[in-house]
Amino acid sequence: MNFHNLMIITAIATIGFGTGFIIAPKALIALCGLSSTPIIEFSLRLYATAIFGVGALALLIRLLENYPEDIIMTDRSWKFSVLFLKVRK
């Protein structure tokens, strides 16, 4: 397994579970055989946002895996560079 496939699997799993925990935490708690309380649901929704962010970061890393710096720093991608990368003069 190479890095590209690992990031795809990570992104799919984390975004899938993150979305599931945000939308239907009771159903996913029941799949684990646990009882659902409001505190557990709230905690799972907070956790879901974190793992959703990990999935989004895995997708971003997968997209930037093979890009050399000179391609990233072109005029076409200046908005992306300003937001996510260190801009050099």
Question: Tens of pLDDT along 22-81?
Answer: 898 888 888 888 888 889 888 888 999 999 889 888 888 887 766 655 555 555 555 555
The runs of H, that is alpha helices, within the chain are 3-23, 25-31, 38-64, 69-72, 78-84
Q: What are phi and psi of 2, to 5 degrees?
A: -100, 175
Strand, coil or helix: 76: helix
Contact 36, 84 (CB under 8 A): no
pLDDT score at 86: 55
pLDDT score at 3: 79
Q: What is the pTM of this model?
A: 0.62
